[in-house]
Amino acid sequence: MAEAKKLDGAALAVTLRRRISDAVDRLEGDHKLTPGLAVVLVGENPASQVYVRNKSKQCAEVGMRSLDHHLPDDVNEHELLTLVHGLNNDPQVSGILVQLPLPEQINPGAVIDAIDPAKDVDGFHVINAGLLSTGAAGTALVPCTPSGCMMLIGQHLSELAGLKAMVLGRSNIVGKPVAQLLLAEHCTVTMAHSRTRDLAGECRQADILVAAVGRPRMVKGDWIKEGATVIDVGINRVEAEGGKTRLVGDVAFDEAKEVAGAITPVPGGVGPMTIACLLRNTVIAACRQNKIDVPDI
């Protein structure tokens, strides 16, 4: 069998950002509207700093306003909630993202609850999660990584109805929303997790396999059905030769590519799509808040 098609998330993200940039130009020209994304970082988590920097940079690159707020590690929940309320009421702010994880004195649920659902560009608020799971995804803000996964699947499969999809992992950020999106496309969806029996056997049934468990190279080649579409959400840093480290996914790529029909690499697969989808959500949020038709992006 031929080697799997590589689903190039980096290239697809470039295309998506170009479409977003064009849409932002049109909003500016036709409506004098510049979408704005407020990104809130609490503390000095190095990984979060990198994410936040990339989000702000890409936001500016597509012509949107980027409003960064950096709070100290020892900020209390009340102070953070006060900032969120201020951003909810600021007409320059179309989208709000509070970078997770938060320091332990802050309850992330309380912070997510405080974000205006119309500005919740992460799609984590219960209103957006509820809209997605009741089949009203068209009116929700959909979480970014799951949207990116669906776009990558769409690069290989044009019709998902009736296909068997397996989602490994049940987080609110990836597993649950991606399962809802697959269900909305009429897949028969199974969700597996750490207590699932015969995980390999369950995976082998799947025409579409989405791995979002955070365990390096857990999914082996012989877990994959021949010709399956494999989406690897994992970003795991592992030791490499010469005392270096490297990023690997949740799927053993070298084995999996011999069996799968299409597969996302790590890095360069799902990762770049997440920020592009965040920018897209910010444009969507800005249009809805201003009662402007949402462009097809």
Stretch that binds ligand GUN, among 94-102, 217-225, 240-248, 261-269 (CB under 6 A): 94-102
CB atoms within 10 A of CB 191: 18
292 torsion bin: left (phi>0), alpha (psi -120 to 50), beta (else): beta
Q: What's the closest the beta carbon of residue 100 comes to ligand GUN, in angstroms? A: 4
DSSP 32-72: ----EEEEEEES--HHHHHHHHHHHHHHHHTT-EEEEEEE-
Examine the residue annotation and report whether 293 is marked as an active-site residue of this protein: no
Q: Give the one residue of 116, 120, 122, 185 binding ligand GUN; rule: CB under 6 A.
A: 122
Q: Quick check: 183 and 217 in contact, CB under 8 A?
A: no
Residues 16-42 as b/e (b if ≥16 CB within 10 A, e otherwise) read: bbebbbebbeebeeeeebebbbbbbbb
Query: Applying CB under 6 A, does 37 fall inside the site for ligand GUN?
Result: no
- Name the token pair of 73: 């590690």
Q: Cα separation of 236 and 217, whole Å?
A: 9
Phi, psi values for residue 179, rounded to 5°: -60, -40
Catalytic-role residue among 58, 116, 119, 122: 122
Query: Applying CB under 6 A, does 202 fall inside the site for ligand GUN?
Result: no
Pick the closer one to ligand GUN by CB: 95 or 265.
95
Pick the closer one to ligand GUN by CB: 27 or 84.
84
Q: Is 117 helix (H, G, I), strand (E, B) or coil?
A: helix
Q: Quick check: 281 and 128 in contact, CB under 8 A?
A: no
Stretch that binds ligand GUN, among 81-89, 98-106, 220-228, 229-237 (CB under 6 A): 98-106
Examine the residue annotation and report whether 222 is marked as an active-site residue of this protein: no
Q: What's the closest the beta carbon of residue 44 comes to ligand GUN, in angstroms? A: 15
Query: Applying CB under 6 A, does 282 fall inside the site for ligand GUN?
Result: no
Query: Applying CB under 6 A, does 97 fall inside the site for ligand GUN?
Result: yes
- Name the token pair of 274: 């997440």
- Name the token pair of 8: 């190039």
Q: Which of residues 125-154 bind ligand GUN (CB under 6 A)?
A: 144
Examine the residue annotation and report whether 99 is marked as an active-site residue of this protein: yes
Pick the closer one to ligand GUN by CB: 261 or 271.
271
The set of residues, in sequence order, having a beta carbon less than 8 Å from that of 26 and lying 6+ positions away, is: 295
Q: Give the one residue of 98, 115, 151, 212 binding ligand GUN; rule: CB under 6 A.
A: 98
Q: What's the closest the beta carbon of residue 279 comes to ligand GUN, in angstroms? A: 13
Stretch that binds ligand GUN, among 1-9, 93-101, 225-233, 258-266 (CB under 6 A): 93-101
Q: Give the one residue of 75, 81, 100, 218 binding ligand GUN; rule: CB under 6 A.
A: 100
Show which residues are catalytic: 55, 99, 122
Residues that bind ligand GUN (CB under 6 A): 97-100, 122, 144
